[in-house]
Amino acid sequence: MDYKKLGFKAGIEIHQQLEGKKLFCDCPAIVHDPNKADIFLERKLRAAAGETGKVDKAAAYEMKKDKIFQYEACSSSSCLVEYDDEPPHELNKDCLELALEVSKLLNAKVVDEIHFMRKTVVDGSNVSGFQRTGLIATDGYIETSRGKVGVDSICLEEEAAQKLEEKEHIVKFRLDRLGVALLEIATDPSIKDPEHAKEVSAILGMMLRSTGKVKRGIGTIRQDVNVSIKGHPRVELKGFQELRYMVKVIDEEVERQKKEKKGESHVRKVNSNGTSTFMRPMPGAARMYPETDVPVIRVTKKMLDAVVLPELIDDKVLRFEKEFKLSAEDARIIVKSEIDFASYVKEFKKVDSKIIVDVIVKYPKEIKKRFNLEGLKENHFREVLGYLNSGKIGKSAVLEILVEILKGKKVNLSKYEGISDNDLEKEVKKIVSKNKGAPINALMGEVMKKFRGKVDGKKVMMLLKRMAK
Ligand SMILES: [Zn+2]
C-alpha cells in the first residue's frame, strides 16, 4: 500500500500504569486485588455539563441507554476517594517525579503549573462520573528509524475501574484499579505507516520500562491509535494491549476507510483476535472542566534539576554486549531479567560470561520445560557458579546439580569432580585405542559416557581431533 499517496495519518496515545500508590490516595496501586470484595455501591449515570455548558455528545449517547452502575471493592485497595465520598488527597509525589522524568526523556517542555481537570467519563468506569487528568509537558519528540516523531502531550491520569459484566441495563465494575496512576503520552499525527506506528509504540514502551517505575505485563500498557486517510475523518482504534496485531489492525482500518469514503469519526475497540469493532461516537470537546479539589502545582527549577535520567534499556543492551562480550540476544535477555550481571562477572572471574548467562537464565527455563521444576534463586546460581569458578565441576554438570538442588537433594560434588588434563588425555587415548577406526562422534560418546559431568565436551573433542591426525 502507498500510505503517502493515501494521505495516511496516525498518532499514538499510550497509557502506562505506574507502580507504588494510587494517584490521589494512599491505597496501593493493585490492579487485581486477590481479596474478596467487602464494599458495594450503586450509581446512576449523571451526564455533567462541560465548561461550554453543553452535554457531551458521547455522554448523551450513553445516557439514552439509562444505565445503573454497580460497584464492588476491597477495603484493602480502595478508600472513600474511590467511592467519591471524599475529595482527592494530595497528588502522589512519586508519580509526579516519574512524569517529570519521562517528560525529560521525551525532550518535552514541562508546564510551569499543573492544573488537574475533570474529564467526563460516560461508561460508569469512574464512580464520580469523571476522570482526573493533569497536563505535565508538551512539545517533545523521539527519534525513530524514520526521523523524529513529535510528542504533543504528557499527562498524569487516573486509571478507570474494571468492568466485570454487563446485563441489560446493569453494568458491574470492580474498583481495585480505579485511581491507579496512568501516564498518558500522545504523539503528533506524523507517523508514516502501520510498521512505523509499531516502532513508535515499542520505543515509547522501552523508554517507560527504562525508568524501572512502571507496571509490567499484559494490560499494564495500552495503546490507542488515531488513524485517517485523505477524505476520511479520524478514527480511534482503542486498546491495543500488545504490538503483535498493530500493523494488521491499522491496515484493516485503512481498507475500511477506503471503502467507506466519507464516514463518521468514531472510536473502535481493538479485539484480542486482531480485529476492531465500533464502540461509540468520538467524544467531543465538552469533556473537560477544572478539578477544584486539587490545588495547582507549581513546577520549580529545583524539581526539574533533581530529575535523574535512567539509562535506556536499548543503550544498556549495547553496553552489555561490549562490556561482557555477549551476543545481542544474550545481552537483551540479561538486561530484561534485571539481574546484577556485573556482580556475577566480578565474582566468578574464571567463568565465561556466556556460561553465566546459561546458568542464570537459560538453564532455569530448560529445567522448567524438561523436569517441570522451578524456584531457583540467586544463592543457588552463586553456589553452582562457585563450583565452576574453582574448577570443582565442569560445565556439563551444572544442569544436573541445579535439578538436584531443586529436588532438595544434597549436592555430592565428588560425583562431578573434575579430572586433570593429563589424566583426561590418558583416558581418552585408552578409549581411542580400544575402539580403533570408530568415528569421532562415537568416540566422543564413549568418553562422555564415562566422564559425564566431569569434563568439558569441547576439550574432549579437541583431544580426539588431535589424536585422529
Ligand atoms: Zn484510595
- Spatial CA neighbour of 185 closest among 144, 136, 145, 220: 136
Query: Percentage of the chain with pLDDT > 70?
Result: 94
- Give the pLDDT confidence score for residue 95 in this predicted structure: 97
Is the confidence at residue 163, as pLDDT, over 60? yes
Is the per-residue pLDDT at 337 higher than 70?
Answer: yes
Q: What DSSP line would sit under 125-168, residue for residue?
A: SSTTSEEEEEEEEEEEEEEETTEEEEEEEEEEEEPPPEEEEEET
* pLDDT range class, residue 57, cuts 50, 70, 90: low
164 contact partners, CB below 8 Å, separation of at least 6: 72, 172, 173, 174
Q: Kindly give the distance from the C-alpha atom of residue 78 to the centroid of ligand 1, in angstroms, as a whole number.
A: 4
Residue 10: its H or E element: strand 9-17
Report helix angle 421-434 to 457-468, nearest 10.
Answer: 50
The proportion of the chain whose per-residue pLDDT surpasses 90, expressed as a percent, equals 67
Cβ proximity of 12 and 221 under 8 Å? no
Backbone angles phi, psi at 291, to 5 degrees: -95, 100
| Secondary element (H or E) of residue 72 | strand 68-73
- Per-residue pLDDT at 393: 84
Q: How far apart are CA 153 and CA 33, in angstroms?
A: 31
d(CA 404, CA 33): 36
Measured in Å, residue 25 CA sits from the centre of ligand 1 at 5
Whole-number pLDDT of residue 2: 93
Q: What is the pLDDT of residue 454?
A: 72
Distance separating alpha carbons of residues 394 and 129, to the nearest angstrom: 64
In terms of Cβ atoms closer than 10 Å to its own Cβ (0-12, 13-18, 19+), residue 289 is middle
Nearest in space to 293 (alpha carbons), one of 460, 42, 117: 117
DSSP letter at 338 equals T
Using the mean position of ligand 1's atoms as its centre, give its distance from the Cα of residue 394 in Å. 55
Q: Amino acid identity, residue 409?
A: K
Q: Are 133 and 290 in contact (CB under 8 A)?
A: no
Residue 419 phi/psi, 5° resolution?
-125, 140
Structure letter (DSSP) for residue 214:
B
User: Confidence band (pLDDT; 50, 70, 90) for 50?
Assistant: very low
| Signed CA dihedral, 132, 137, 138, 143: sign only | negative
Most confidently predicted of 49-53, 65-69, 100-104, 393-397: 100-104
| pLDDT for position 60 | 65
Ordered by start, the domain boundaries in the chain are: 3-305, 321-416, 421-468
pLDDT confidence tier of residue 448, bands split at 50, 70 and 90: confident
Q: Which of 227-241, 343-357, 401-415 has the lowest mean pLDDT?
A: 401-415
> 259 C-alpha vs ligand 1 centroid, how far in Å?
47
Residue 162 pLDDT > 90: yes
Running DSSP on this structure, what letter comes out for residue 396?
G
CB 205 within 8 A of CB 40: no
CA–CA gap between residue 330 and residue 336 (Å, rounded)? 10
Q: How many CB atoms lie within 10 A of CB 327?
A: 11
Span from the CA of 175 to the centroid of ligand 1 (angstroms)? 10
Average pLDDT of the residues in 123-132 = 91
Q: How confident is the model at residue 343 (pLDDT cuts 50, 70, 90)?
A: very high
Ligand 1 centroid distance, CA of 81 (Å): 5
- What's the confidence (pLDDT) of residue 419? 73
**pLDDT score, position 222:** 93
Give the model's confidence band at 421: pLDDT under 50 very low, under 70 low, under 90 confident, else very high.
confident
pLDDT band at 121 (very low <50, low <70, confident <90, very high): confident
Q: Quick: pLDDT tens for 452-462.
A: 767 778 888 88
- The rounded distance, in Å, linking the Cα atoms of 405 and 382 is 12
Ligand 1 centroid to residue 88 C-alpha, Å: 9
- Low-confidence winner among 59-73, 100-114, 388-402, 453-467 (lowest mean pLDDT): 59-73
Q: Give the mean model confidence (pLDDT) for residues 328-348.
A: 92
- Unique residue bearing C-alpha cell 504528557: 154
Q: Is 33 helix (H, G, I), strand (E, B) or coil?
A: coil
426 contacts: CB under 8 Å, gap ≥ 6: none
Task: Give the Å distance between the CA of 180 and the centre of ligand 1.
Answer: 9
Ligand 1 centroid to residue 221 C-alpha, Å: 21
Task: Give the pLDDT band of residue 56 (cuts 50, 70, 90).
Answer: low
For residue 123, report the distance from its CA to the centre of ligand 1, in Å: 21
| C-beta separation of 360 from 381 below 8 A | yes
- Confirm if 109 and 36 have CB atoms less than 8 A apart: no
Q: How far is the CA of 178 from the centre of ligand 1 (A)?
A: 8
Quote the pTM value: 0.80
Confidence bin at 78 (pLDDT 50/70/90)? very high
CA-to-CA distance for 267 and 252, rounded, in angstroms? 15
What is the predicted pLDDT for the residue at 51? 45
